[in-house]
Homo-oligomer: A and B are copies of this chain.
Amino acid sequence: MADSPRSLDPVQLGAYFDLIEVSSLLRYAVEQQLREAGDLSYVQFQLLARLGDSPTGSQRMTDLADGVVYSRSGLTYQAGLLEKAGLVVRAPSPEDERVTTVTITDAGRALLAKVLPGHVEVVRGMLFEPLSREDVMTLAGLLAPVRDHMRSTPPRSAAPRRRQREA
């Protein structure tokens, strides 16, 4: 660590800004499509998709929260909405009464199947349209190591992130 450059070079800065902007716009567009097609938020869609992928159609609350990067309380809220809508069912695990198991219903699977094509179309149209097949492979090859690096460097919770208070 002989040299510690003070700033990012222009190429890095551009890549950083573009990454943030691209992901923000993509996320916003996807949210809109999901809202229109099935009145789902992106989080709710992620939860349904994750449950649909699971062989049994069930997952523990904690595992779901870990996968979606959300706080437990946030998951409780969203799972409550999904349950009220009849898309999932919650039940305490017989083995361990502490654990709540979430299971996707047939209605949930149906809704998932209904919104998926549109979802795919938005992603294709916004993200993959200007990229060749080779570009996509290159992009995937670049993002994978970054993802692994981030996963292995969990956000150290030095201070528990106070909200706007004094400033």
Q: Name A residues whose Cβ lies closer than 8 Å to a Cβ of B.
A: 6-8, 11-12, 14-16, 18-29, 31-32, 35-36, 38-41, 69, 81, 85, 87, 116-117, 120, 123-131, 135-140, 142-151, 153, 155, 157-159, 161-162, 164-167
When distances are taken between beta carbons in the complex, the residues of chain B under 8 Å from A25 are: 69, 150-151, 155
CB < 8 Å neighbour of A39 from B29, B69, B158, B166: B166
Other-chain residue from B32, B39, B138 in contact with A138 (beta carbon distance below 8 A): B138
Enumerate chain B residues within 8 angstroms of A120, measured Cβ to Cβ.
6-8
27 pairs from A and B in contact (CB 8 Å cutoff):
A7-B116, A7-B120, A8-B124, A11-B136, A12-B124, A12-B136, A12-B140, A14-B140, A15-B127, A18-B140, A18-B147, A19-B23, A22-B23, A22-B143, A25-B69, A32-B161, A35-B161, A36-B161, A39-B162, A40-B167, A81-B164, A81-B167, A125-B153, A126-B149, A126-B150, A126-B153, A138-B138
If over half of A's interface residues share one DSSP class (helix, strand or loop), that class is named, otherwise mixed; here it is: helix
Of A124, A151, A167, chain B has the most CB atoms within 10 Å of the CB of: A167
A125 to B4, CA, bound (A): 12
Contacts of A81 in B (CB 8 A): 164, 167
Q: Are the C-beta atoms of B146 and A127 separated by less than 8 Å? A: yes
Q: Which B-chain residue is minimally distant from A142 (CB atoms)?
A: B139
